[in-house]
Amino acid sequence: MKQALQILILTLILAAKTILGQVVGDYGTGSTTATWTTPSHWIICVSPGTWAGATVATLAPSATTNCFIRSGCTATVPASGTVECNNLTVTGALVSSNGIGSPRFLNINGTNVTVNGSFGGPADGLSLNIYNSNTTLTGTPNPSGFYICRLQPQVATSITFNVNCYITFVGSGIYCNGLATTYTINVGKTVSLKPGSNFAVGTTVAGDPATGANMNLDIYGTLTLQSGVSPSVISLANKSGFTTNLHVYGTGTLNCGNSMYAYSNGSASAI
């Protein structure tokens, strides 16, 4: 009975956090325009579920801070300075001051990136470094969309796409960075790689990567690569001793705009 009561209390606490959104100590943008690294552009929640009475921050967000880009606000990640948080929720707009040729990485240490506003843009360099072993990208972006220049794991991880999004970096837009990675695209969700952006184990698709990593790609939704003058490529090539597994399930679709590579020098590539 005691254990059941403890489980019930924990469940109610977790449910309350989900319903209320922000909790005490979470950061929210405090005005219609904000710069990520400017402490005074953030406010700190003091009452669960409301920003009423929030205090002005004296420090920029840290790796343990949950951050909210609030509706009506456009927040900018500047060209320099550490930008990091735990979980991220965007109902306004988050952009960077970099173009797609110079990815600007936001370090995500938590389990969720939720975009119900807009993130990046077609020519924006805003990118994600993932520092958690299990992170989900989710939400319902507004018409301005969810654009990730480059997605780069920093630890062995599972990354789930529970949202429609675009990858824009010319080169390996999604890759393993030398770390064991599972990528999952959920049912009904589409990940689209823009022209010239590739999905690969390493930073090259012209042969086996210099650094191998075990990669699983599980497609329950749709992965779309571009054809044309600057096509997108998916490469299953890997270094000897590592494996790449591609699973396209009954609800899944892989649109290969141009080519799928699987070179012979590496270990097994399974489809």
Local mean pLDDT, 10-residue blocks, the chain (271 residues)? 43 40 96 96 97 97 98 97 97 97 97 98 98 98 97 98 97 96 98 94 87 96 88 90 94 89 62 63
Q: Which of 40, 27, 131, 106 is nearest to 69 (CA)?
A: 27
**What pLDDT shows up at residue 5?**
42
Whole-prediction pTM value?
A: 0.90
Instruction: Give the separation between CA 27 and CA 34, rounded to whole angstroms.
Output: 12
**What pLDDT shows up at residue 266?**
53
**What pLDDT shows up at residue 224?**
96
* 260: exposed, middle or buried (Cβ count in 10 Å: 0-12, 13-18, 19+): middle
